Each structure stands twice: as C-alpha cells, then as structure tokens.
Amino acid sequence: MLRDMFGYARTLAAYKRDHPADDILTTLATDAELAVPELEMFFFLLTVAGNDTVRSAAPGGLLALAGSPGEYGRLRHCTVGMATAVDELLRAHPPVLSFRRTAARDTELAGVRVAAGDKVVVFHASAHYDERVFTDPHRLDLARSPNPHVAFGEGPHVCLGAHFARLQLRVFHEEVARALPVLRLAAPPRRLVSHFINGLKSLRLEVPA
C-alpha cells in the first residue's frame, strides 16, 4: 500500500511539473532541492496528518463534552461560538500528544541549556494545562478567549491543514449538537495505546429513540 502511495506521489508530481497550478504539490514537485524520496515522504505526511488527527480530535471533543453537560448545553443553544468551542475542545483533547524536534544550534529554553543536536519533546497535553497560560485549565470553557493552545503546533511548523481541520470539526460538532439533545456515554471509551496520537478506538454514545 505504501509503495502504491509513493508511486501515486511520483505520478502526480510529474503531472504537476507539466501542468503547474497554485497548489502545494506543484510547489513540492518543482522544488529543485527536494529529492524524490523526500517528496514521497512529504506526500505521505500530508495524507496521513489530515486523517489521523481529525479522526482523533472529533471523538476526543465528544468525550470532553460528555464530561461537561453544562458546556454541551451552551453549545446546543448557541450561547458560545462554534469556532471558539472547537479551539477549546482541541485544547482539552489535542489529537497529538507529543512531538520531537532536534535543536539546530545551542540555545537556552526556560533556563535549561540545549545543545545543538539535542532532542526536545513538546508535550501538547501538558502545555494545554499550564496554569501560567490558562486560567482554571482543568475546566472546559467553550468561550475561552484567548486560547493559545498548540494543538496545531506553532511558528514555522504550524499545521498546514489547521484551517481545514477546524472547518471539519465545526461541521462535525454542529451536526452532533443538532442530532443529540443529550451527550451521554454508553460505555467507557477505549483508548488507542500510543505515545504520539491521542486517539480513541471506540466511543459509544447513547442515542435517543
């Protein structure tokens, strides 16, 4: 399957070189510094990143709302904005647990010396509950603003699909709020065993007759 995906990436890249357009694949395919294996992996990353993350964030948001019926009521009755609510749900249940980077040069971070080549890990879930940044971080507040969560990363590494992911989650939660007057778990959630993806294998909800 991965071989097929890489083959498709090469075919699509060749097409984009002959038929350039205003899209990311054209940019990648015409970058002289990007080797073919790098282009294939970039294509793979774009495909998977937009799948696993939203697939994990959607049920994660439901789980957070099921634990805060008052906030779900505010969402259903439109007393909070959906865009603001989605960002708070991403803060409460980020789709990615951690991300590792390699220091490009010697530096200092919060009083700790980091040497070039050192591995630095960002724990998103921990950052989202930092009392120095978020007031009452363990309380779900769908109207929280500002909300500087790092569910999509930050700076030059910010997620390319952040706007699309937010759109998908807004539509998802709008439909859930329309369909379910009460959000109640039918069974304990089954979590994905991973140190990277904050995923749920199953989340059973009670559906009114």
Report which of 43, 55, 52 is spatially closest to residue 5, judged by C-alpha positions: 43
Helix axes 162-179, 36-66, angle to 10 degrees: 30
Please report the DSSP string for 73-97 in residue order. HHHHTTSS-HHHHHHHHHHHS-SB-
Decide: 165 and 54 in contact? Cβ < 8 Å: yes
pLDDT for the residue 67: 96
pTM of the full structure: 0.84
pLDDT tens string 69-81: 999 999 999 999 9
Kindly report the number of other CB atoms within 10 A of residue 82's CB atom.
17
Q: Which amino acid is present at 58?
A: A
Residue 124 is classified by DSSP as H
pLDDT tens string 127-178: 999 999 999 999 999 999 999 999 998 888 788 889 999 999 999 999 999 9
Distance CA 6, CA 114 (A): 36
Report which of 150, 32, 35, 187 is spatially closest to residue 9, judged by C-alpha positions: 35
pLDDT tens string 81-97: 999 999 999 999 999 99
Query: In which region does residue 117 sit, left (phi positive, over 0), alpha (psi from -120 to 50) or beta (all else)?
Result: left
Query: SS3 for 200?
Result: strand
**Domain boundaries along the sequence of the chain:** 35-202
Q: Which CATH architecture has domain 35-202?
A: Orthogonal Bundle (1.10)
- CA dist 194 to 15, 78, 122, 157, Å? 37, 35, 15, 22
- Average model confidence (pLDDT) across the chain: 93
